[in-house]
Chains A and B, each alone.
Chain A
Amino acid sequence: MEALARSLVSAVPAIAGVPLWTVTLLMMVLSAAVLLAFALTFGGLGSYVLRKVAGDIQVRIGPNRVGPYGLLQFLADGAKLLLKEDIIPAKADRFLFILAPYLVFVGSFAAFVVLPFGVGLTASDLNIGVYYVMAVTSLVVVGILMAGWASNNKWALLGGMRAAAQIVSYEIPVGMAIMPAVLIAGSLSLQDIVRSQGGLLGIFGWNLFHNPFTFFSFFLYFTAAQAETNQTPFDIPEAESELVSGYNVEYSGIRYAFFFLAEFGDMFVVAALATACFLGGWHVPFFRAEALPALWGNLLSLAVFLIKAFALVLVMMWVRWTLPRLRVDQLMRMSWKYLVPLTFVNLLGVSLWLLIFKGKGIPALIASLIG
């Protein structure tokens, strides 16, 4: 960011007198604002798509009143949530009750910073990218636990406890399932991981088709990540039929909206990580977006990345409205007895593969055989 600011200062003579840190700070604020706008828009439109998909799957119409095809429904919902009375239960712990939604939102939104949206479109390409995402999302757990406890409501507390237990358990398979991509790229930086999947092989350069173990890893990651974001079929923290709504049951108005937006933010982060680590990120099949002029290359790669990520989000919604909810003990068994051992075996398999075939995947091996 600072190097970019320096080049900007030297390129534009009008701001030559401005101190470097001011320019850097302004650029940071600007990129954060762009990301925030994206996250909020995604949350709004995502909720509309979610309801439409639900409608289609359950053979009903879904939202269709506000705007053409109900497209403006999310604006109406947003206005409604803003105008609603802000209720804080009398017996609630005021301070923690107010703090909790912010923590959850910060934990979810902070992950956006390192997402590789395009060739050069990353707010900050940290060299510990994947690890950073794993770390900041743990803030979500603290926020959820806090919300559950501060509400002073038995359903909220149970939901919060369940959510925390679930997220902590599934963090392990999620981290282990993403490791193969890190091993192949030899870097934790998300941009490096994406770059390692380019080349002339088209979609066969993706980590998904690198070797059988990475193929399984993708599905393991997607399953575990869906559980980590508390989506159905793993939504026992919310379980409407038993817990009413779980940890956020006492929240209303804009405070509820924070939880809601964080949930959609998590959904996008999961989809984006899966895209970046296994589906080639912003790479366009059989085409080098990096070779284009900066503006067009960035726009094209951004579009490709978003298409891939949104497709995965749609799959998540599809799963969400198709499968029934797991029981608590089934959920824990799923994580500890199936996903964790499988991801460990996978990790070992990928490591051995990289050792034996000197880092080459099946498509690259076939290509070298042909000539």
Chain B
Amino acid sequence: MTGPADLIFYFVAALTVASAILVATLPNIIYSAVALLFSFAGVAGLYVFVSADFLAATQVLVYVGGILILILFAVFLSNRISTVKISNPVHFNWQAALLCLALFGVLSYTAVSTKFPVKPGLSYQPTTAEIGELLMTRYLLPFEVASVLLLAALIGAALLSRPEGEKERSADMEEPK
């Protein structure tokens, strides 16, 4: 099928890749974060193209609404972040380049050699009900394990973020004795 749909697909794919490159190369970490926003949006668009609507919305909700905001918060709360030296000190490092090349090789080998189950003819059918049913039946154990992991992370974060305050308060409480 050639037509506007293909053009839009190539535009979205180019947007995703170009902003991903910008994320890695921009000197200012805040601009990297902004480029990441467009990269995430592009990936969501790609999901729409393979008729995974629920996944696309999840992509936006989790990555833009959660992770990107977390990154922005971390960046804004650190001092003097916009200077290149602090936010992105090493621009080229041959060990890192080697690692990247190796990872790229493995990933592209996997992507090419794997036989993906392709549905004959894309049908833009709703996927939400199917996903929900599979999560509650066939993939219930991984689903529950993931939620327990997230809960543990949540409790851990709450604990880590308040050790000093807790000690001070208990010290204050003990003093009047």
Contact present for B34 and A134 (CB under 8 Å): no
CA–CA, A127 and B68, complex, Å: 26
Asked whether, in the complex, the Cβ of B69 is within 8 Å of the Cβ of A168, the reply is yes
Whose C-beta in chain B lies nearest to the C-beta of A2?
B124
Given the interface pairs A21-B3, A127-B126, the reply to whether A134 lies near B61 with Cβ below 8 Å is: yes
The answer to whether A142 touches B69, judged by C-beta atoms less than 8 angstroms apart, is: yes
Closest to B5 in A: A21
- Chain B 49-69 per-residue mask, 1 if CB under 8 angstroms from chain A, else 0: 000011001101100111011
B61 to A126, Cβ gap below 8 A?
A: no
List chain B residues, Cβ under 8 A from A127.
53, 126, 128
Q: Which residue of B lies closest to A141 (CB)?
A: B69
Q: Is the CB of B57 within 8 A of A132?
A: yes
B64 touches A138 (CB 8 A): yes
CB < 8 Å neighbour of B69 from A21, A145, A149: A145
> What's the nearest-Cβ distance from chain B to residue A207, in Å?
19
Mostly helix, strand, loop or mixed at chain B's interface? helix
A342 CB contacts on chain B under 8 angstroms? none
- As a 0/1 sequence over residues 141 to 169 of chain A, the CB contacts with chain B under 8 angstroms (1 = contact) are 11001100100000001000100100010
Measured CB to CB, the nearest residue on chain A to B76 is: A149
Q: Is there a chain A Cβ closer than 8 Å to B156's Cβ? A: no
Interchain CB contact under 8 A, B128 and A128: yes
Smallest Cβ distance from A17 to chain B, in angstroms? Answer: 16
Pick from B4, B57, B65, B126: contact of A171, CB below 8 A.
B65
A136: Cβ under 8 A from any B Cβ:
yes
Q: How large is the interface on B (under 10, 10 to 19, 20 to 34, 35 or more residues)?
A: 20 to 34
The answer to whether B72 has its CB under 8 Å from any CB of chain A is yes
- Tell me, rounded to whole Å, the shortest Cβ–Cβ distance linking A269 to chain B: 16
Give the CA-CA distance A175 to B55 in the complex, in Å: 17
On whether the beta carbons of B60 and A146 are closer than 8 Å, the reply is: no
Interface residues on chain A, number (Cβ under 8 Å): 28
In the complex, A135 has a CB within 8 A of chain B: yes
Per-residue interface assignment for chain B, residues 77 to 98, with 1 indicating a CB less than 8 Å from any chain A CB and 0 otherwise = 0000010000000000000000
A149-B30 contact in complex given A21-B3, A21-B4, A127-B126, C-beta closer than 8 Å: yes
Contact with B along A286-328 (1 / 0, CB 8 A): 0000000000000000000000000000000000000000000
Please, how many angstroms separate the alpha-carbon atoms of A35 and B138 in the complex?
42
A83 to B31, CA, bound (A): 31
A96 in the interface (beta carbon within 8 A)? yes
A131 and B30 contact, CB distance less than 8 A: no
A96 to B37, CA, bound (A): 13
List B contacts of A96 (CB < 8 A): 30, 34
CA gap between A128 and B5 in the complex, in Å: 22
User: Knowing A135-B65, A138-B64 touch, does A145 contact B30 (C-beta < 8 A)?
Assistant: no
- Whose C-beta in chain B lies nearest to the C-beta of A130? B57
B132 to chain A, nearest CB (A): 10
The answer on a CB contact under 8 Å between B57 and A135 is yes
For A19, what are the chain B residues with a Cβ–Cβ distance below 8 Å? 3
Contacts of A126 in B (CB 8 A): 53
Question: Who on chain A is nearest to B3 by CB?
Answer: A21
- Most A-side CB within 10 Å, residue of B4, B61, B66: B61
Q: Which residues of A contact B60 (CB under 8 A)?
A: 135-136, 138-139
Distance in Å: Cβ of A8 to nearest Cβ of chain B: 18
**B54 near A128 (CB under 8 angstroms)?**
yes
* Known contacts A25-B4, A128-B128; A142 and B53 CB within 8 A of each other: no
Which residues of A have CB within 8 Å of B109? none
| Distance (whole angstroms) from the CB of B34 to the closest CB of chain A | 7
Given contacts A128-B53, A135-B57, A188-B128, contact A161 B69 (CB under 8 A): no
Residues of B within 8 A of A132 (CB): 57
Known contacts A138-B64, A138-B65, A142-B72; A99 and B57 CB within 8 A of each other: no
Which B residues are in CB contact (< 8 Å) with A149? Answer: 30, 72, 76
Point out residues on B near A: beta carbons under 8 Å: 3-5, 30-31, 34, 37, 53-54, 57-58, 60-61, 64-66, 68-69, 72-73, 76, 82, 126, 128
Beyond the given A19-B3, A96-B30, A135-B61, please list 20 additional residue pairs across the A-B interface where CB-CB is below 8 A: A21-B4, A99-B34, A126-B53, A128-B54, A128-B128, A134-B61, A135-B58, A135-B60, A135-B65, A136-B60, A138-B60, A138-B61, A138-B64, A138-B69, A139-B64, A142-B64, A142-B68, A145-B73, A161-B76, A164-B73
23 contacts between A and B (CB under 8 A): A93-B82, A96-B34, A126-B53, A128-B53, A128-B57, A131-B54, A131-B57, A131-B58, A134-B57, A135-B60, A135-B64, A135-B65, A138-B64, A138-B69, A139-B60, A139-B64, A139-B65, A146-B72, A149-B30, A161-B76, A164-B69, A168-B66, A168-B69
Closest 5 CB pairs of A and B: A138-B65, A127-B126, A135-B61, A135-B60, A135-B57
